[in-house]
Structure 1
Amino acid sequence: MSEPSIAIEVIYADVGRQSLRTVTVPLGTTLREAVRLSGLAEQFPGLDVRGCPLGIFGKVIADADTRAVEAGDRIEIYRPLLADPKEVRRLRAEKAAKAKAQNL
């Protein structure tokens, strides 16, 4: 008798492209193992599937190495931010304030 399996999705977005894969994995597979089985590491050579943060439907999962996937999960692979969003907003606000002061 074959081992029961479930279908999940694994998604990763790089700067210039993205990939969404539907993968069938054995019941009890961890998030990290499901990402490895998806084959996305081969498609994105710089992707560190062993250490990158993972999430499900926008929520980061801290125990991705031990948490088992559930049917219908969409595992998201997160990459490091190029810029801190708070810093970008602060710089934008400073620039807007300077522009407003010059127009007065």
Structure 2
Amino acid sequence: MENNTNTIHVEVAYALPDRQRIVALEVPEGCTVRAAVMQSALDKQFPDLDLATADLGIFGKSVSAPDAQALKNGERVEIYRPLIADPKEVRKQRAAKVKARKDAK
């Protein structure tokens, strides 16, 4: 398919532990990461999702300025869920459990 109308093809993805959605979009060249996410309307399928403030990334790499960064043809925008636990704290707790097991032997 030839693309003569100055649009690009992108995807917007969001996943919960039990379900996911990927929306394919044709957006104008220069469309920002946040604008594509807003156009996806995934907040209609996931009522708890706030598209205006969600952390976003492209192919697993966080985007620091989603309101300014323009998308390229073929990119997949990912909407990230907030972390439930601090990863550093989880690692610290896991290490403490391993140490306790070793000390108990």
TM-score, normalised via structure 1 length: 0.88
2:30 partner letter: G
- In the aligned structure 2, how far is the partner of 1:53 from the partner of 1:70? 19
- Aligned residue runs from structure 1 range 1-104, under 5 A: 3-103=5-105
Shift of 1:17: 1.6
RMSD: 1.5
> Deviations 1:34-92 (Å, cap 9, x if unpaired)?
01111211111111110111111122111111222110111011111000111111111
- In the aligned structure 2, how far is the partner of 1:19 from the partner of 1:93? 35
Gapped regions of structure 2 (runs ≥ 5): none
Please state whether the residue corresponding to 2:65 is helix, strand or coil: coil
2:65 partner letter: D
Which consecutive segments of 4 or more residues in structure 1 shift more than 4 A? none
Number of equivalences: 102
Shift of 1:3: 4.5
Identical columns (%): 47
Shift of 1:25: 1.2
Shift of 1:16: 2.2
1:47 partner letter: L
Shift of 1:15: 2.9
